[in-house]
Structure 1
Amino acid sequence: MTRLLLAALLLLAAAALVSASTLAIAAGPTVCGVAADNATAYCAATNNSSYSARAVAPFIGFSQVSSGGGGFVCGLQVGGRAFFCWPTATPDQLRRVYNGPSRLSGLAVGGGHVAAYDVGERVIRWWRGGARFPAQVGGGFSSLVSGDDFTCAVETNTSAVRCWGPGGSAVQVAFLNTSVSTLAAGGSRACGVLMNTGAVLCSGSDAGAVAPRDLSDLAGLAVGDSHACGLMKPNHTAACWNIAGPTTTLYYPAFGTAFEFLVAGGNLSCGLVTTNFSLLCWSTNVFVASEVQLPAILPGVCVSDAKSCKCGVFTRSGELCSVPGNVICNRFCDVPPPPVLPPPPSPSSPPPASRRISKTWIVFAVVGAVGSFAGLCSIVYCLVFGFCSHKKVHNSVQPNIAGAADNGGTPSPYGSPNGLQSLGLFRRQLSRVMTRQRSGPSSFKEPAEEFTFAQLAAATKDFALEAKISEGSFGTVYWGNFADGREVAIKRGESRLHARKFQEKESAFRSELAFLSRLHHKHLVGFVGYCQENDERLLVYEYMKNGALYDHIHPKACAPSSSSSPVTSSWKLRITILLDASRGIDYLHSYAVPPIIHRDIKSSNILLDGSWVAHVSDFELSLMGPETEETHMSMKAAGTVGYMDPEYYGLHHLTVKSDVYSFGVVMLEVLTGKRAIFKDAEGGSPVSVVDYAVPSIVAGELNKVLDGRAPEPSAHEAEAVELVAYTALHCVRLEGKDRPAMANIVANLETAVALCKGSASAAGGLVNSSSSAGLSITSMEL
């Protein structure tokens, strides 16, 4: 009895690690995993071996990944204080769903929801589950798993299975009066290893189904839509069987191959090979395993507490875990850990003298040859490029900040040599801006093109007045048309400036170039190329046929299209444009590590293409922000009056929430049709749109401030407009800590667009209910 109890306790202790995995299977079919060498998440298609694995946000380290077999995957960041989700088809569209003070573990993604265990609060939390799941459930749990419409976990004190969600009761009923050591879920089913017998019991559509008798007391378990797989003791090879239909078919997809663990999703299963951490996958209609082209995957989740590893610590934890001191727990107690490579010979027993001498001479010869070659290259480089002059070289990977030197007279750490003296250096540095991307979130799909000034002059008819689109602080924007038919927008910095003004133009040019060359997102303005000749500085963008959002909300009285713009006449289009822009800003905040702060979000910097899709533009003032939302940067305010965050303007405290405030002003512009700063009557005092609109929104009198040029919203549109108004209200709060994150704003605007279409359930984004500044449709904290 004592031995049985001890074995049960060991199984229960190991079960806490079962739900947390470094591999996930999603629709596609696609497999995503956490690389063993750098904690980067990679995804690869299993049905096409010619496609190489794609890195997901290579500047974010992940500890675990999860998917419910649907169209998205989620990954928990190293440290457990944030997790991100991305569509399997477009992994570059990454979104941060949670970013909070509490540490999470056991991420479990279902068909349309995400569950995780809050370690600090000792509760299970849900995201994207709407009202289908409780806000949180307290207690101690292990083996947290999710299926299509349910989440289940094993209570640590009773080993009983508890389930939540619409399908939770159907799953839980088969596990009544049982104790479970290991739990797995997939589709509409869950399977568990019973502690008293070691048998596998499955519930859901086929409640009470058991595995073949040959498969008892399994070392690991994975469940798909209609099949399950387990690791057999003691060799840890995989055996699979169907859990749907009148008969059970048992098969061995990779006989003789030992696996660290198994994962399943849909009709696919995969196993991580023990010997080399490679990945083998097989499906229910192809029983033979084949290798998937992913890098070596972490054999387990790295944890900070080695004492929790009841079966001992994985011997290679030190080299595999990215955080010093973290370890990977052994999954199995029934086999010894993998062999350790023999240590190098002790100094007390040196090798024979002849071998030592020969190796020494070989090393000496190699080092000498390399040194001679490097010296020769240095001499040639000095002669050709004049690198031996005593010019100070600045790293241009970090963007330069326009006007940053004005911050209390302190030069910017990202600064460049002053005035015209920087021209020669900048030519050499420019290639680094275009090629070194290690500090940014994503490189542009196509390399930026370098144009000659003559090419751009020809495209704009020598920068003719009729080609002029707009003017900004950096210079003038022109419409251009190349010989190959491409339409572009060309931003030309003002020329013939004195040294100080030239340096400001140079800094703005290099800052925007540095960001544009690294960023790529469908809702950021497309970057085509650049030109730098003598004192000319030009940037080339994709042409946005329908101009700036500002021009449609505030058209000139003489403009022929002032009353015919679809933006003016459609609430749905207005809100869709806001959603597009919010996604672009969320990309800057959530994808970039560290986040990128735009610093000049306004309606004139939101451009509309020929299909009325919005793109965020103008990165002259952008810079890399602090690592967390709780910290700020101190610097002199820069931006546009009316849109600037009061904390940033008054206290010089800059955070990503400064962009949130600016975007709140844009939302109020779109709702009211008023400029950020306007005169309520001829000769009256200037009024901000925030002071104009907020009192009416708080009083529940939104109709008083809505743009009268737009038609009266329909019933669903009225709900959408109200949701946008309350979201904007949260965005323009005085203190940044009270404002929502851009991910929350995106979620609310997705819901608003769905409401405009007449279906709230069609909204793809749902709200992070645990965020202190989170938003929801039904609960708005005023």
Structure 2
Amino acid sequence: MTSPPPSAGVILILLITSATTTIFALGGGATTLAAVYGGATTTICTLVASQPTQPIQCWTRGKGVRTPLPSATSFSAVSGGADVFCGITSGAAALLCWDADSLTPRRLYYNVLNPINSITIGDSQICVLTNLNDVVCLRGESPNKGPFKEISCGLGFCCSVVEFNDSVVCWGRNVRDRVSTNSEWSYRYMNVDIAYDIEYSFSNISMMNVFVGGGHACGISVSGLVICKGNNDHGQLNVPSNSSYEFSGLALGANHSCAIRRLDNSIVCWGGNGGFSGGLVDGVSFESIVAGVDFTCGLVSSNFSVVCWGVGWPNELYPVGVSLPLAKSLPGACVWRSCECGTYPQSQELCSRNGNICRDCDVIPVSNTPPPWLSIPPPPLTVKDSSRSRGLRRGLVVFAVVGSVGTFAGILTIIYCLWTGVLFGKNKIHNSVRPSTNDVNNNNAPKSSSSPAIFSRSFTLGRQGSRLMRRQRSGTSSKHTERAEEFLFSDLVAATNNFSIENKIGAGSFGVVYRGKLPEGREVAIKREETSAKTKKLQEKENAFESELAFLSRLHHKHLVRLVGYCEEGDERLLVYDYMKNGALYDHLHDQNNVEKSSSVLNSWRMRIKIALDAARGIEYLHNYAVPPIIHRDIKSSNILLDANWTARVSDFGLSLMGPDLDDLEFKPLKAAGTVGYIDPEYYELNVLTAKSDVYGFGVVLLELLTGKKAVFTSVESGRSPINLVDFAVPPIQGGEVAGLLDPRIGPPDSREAETVEQLAYTAMHCVNYQGKERPTMTDIVSILETALSLCDCSHGSISSDPLSILSE
């Protein structure tokens, strides 16, 4: 079938006058109606209408109507697949899933900064489309292309529409074929790369959406016609004749397809060897429909009941036309935002005055000859229209004049900058930072919100410096005197008892660290440069001493270790810091003697989250508030130190680099630097350094706090082979099995802590994403950890107080 080309440049905004007709394929998407299939299980779920909250209700064959959770929990959408269904909580930050048989809850997703737009479930896939247009598959493989605007999963594979070019992308294989054995349904696997075949079939077609069934997929093209590709053994590709935009969507089963007409919300089905046609639901209008493997269900417009039909539906219980014994169901999500295209009739009653149901706004390109169901003549051109056109032309002339003046002023500015040398870095930038060590993190200062508005913080900061990232050199010792105190080498020898082994407390990027006491009694940590040939060669490349001195003498923040002074005498290079009484985070997490819960202050979830927040604030300061911004390049638990008050501070800037714009910059240094287990794999393999490299290292630290394991560890089970902590921890987190990862020294979190521990786990998972662009910023992380800590202190109204948390299973 060929698509008639739309008239060039003609767009009509059509407001559907009935409810939003939401239709989904076999796996479904985010709507208020879901079908669960598989084995002997048949379950239909909806969102309950006319209640202060919007809970989920389910009818299960042989078990009747059940409520998965107490009615106090509110949802905005529900979706079903093979033996499982999931609900998106109101606000779209969390995804909760249940086994259809036992109704055991599990939370698979939680991210207040990247909420869920929609969800689709197949037989082996659970995938969400996030607010950032990314597809995250929580069960099954994820696609490697995007961003996306539509997504659907079916029997063994998924498809999505790419946002910027309307192309179809599919992934997955091993399509399951349903066969009958002794009157029971079972599955067999066919090793068919159906995903590739269907993607290829759609390769030259621009699509608005796509829906996946058993071995086929259908969608509506940008020209408005229904197009199906794939297997046609049962007639599932035999689309009835239709006009452009006659149908608003599709619902696909294993071997049948259904759609809703825009004109009257009636149903049209094809395929299934004719078992879904024949006027089964003629004359009935539906708000939405979903498909199981071999049946279809719809939400009836007249009374918001649910009816089902098809060859696989148990007609002996509820024949076609007989509603399931479910309470009145919502036709759409109840939301508090304003509705751009108007609200649905009865919205207030259906939402019990707690929000509104919004209509969808359809943008439809209209050809010169509109379809039969749409006949709206173009408005005539009136005198008023003509005068408005003349006014527009006058406005454009004024705009052109003003623009010319602005362009001329810009050229003069560039000439001035060239003359003064600013563009070539001849004018030095003042070595200043955003004021405050105590202002930024003052306990009395307001906390940042967990709302998406926090993104603005990282984009409104003034950035200074050359476009090229560079290491700042501090020059000779005479240049340091204004920035740090200069010590005599003899004084530091005396302070450390001649650098005795008893005073050795660690090692840094360029030397050994000793504990010392200055003549006035102040305790300090003194880092002495090593002088071996190997170390000297490394220092010629990195010059860690100069880096630390350059950075720390100009950085002042309560979550960065403070530089007291330095010493340069002959070949000796030493740096003097505030002494961190409680040592490194690494030692507290991995000390073999720390086996009892009472043996360390850090063996509580609240304290670990506080430590994580402290360190995150220090790194955020480097990225966003230092001028120029700084990439640390060696974030790890041994570089997070704890002072006498157990406040965490970031240390060791020997590998750090600075640059003006960490959001856009991709910098390729001579070689990747960092520590095994913490180094960003994208940086290591591609030599591309960004601020997200620090985020990766911090994500590994979060996993250490969560599990108590080292970044690289061994176990008896692995045969003493090294195990990467990221590879060990991320798959269970993706599968919602956080409880099995937790550090046993702390014990299971209580009801107040469960929410925060899950936030810690999911934040860590996002931080260690292979692609840097997929990782959050440090500003995002600070906001999440602030919320987590507040929930840990007081979790009234938190979801984790209900028995649905995965940590309480």
TM-score bucket of the superposed structures, by smaller chain: 0.3 to 0.5
Which is higher, the Rg of structure 1 or of structure 2?
Answer: 2
Normalising by the residue count of structure 1, what TM-score does the alignment of the two structures yield? 0.42
- Structure possessing the higher relative contact order (Cα contacts under 8 Å, 6 or more residues apart): 2
* TM-score for both structures, normalised by structure 2: 0.41
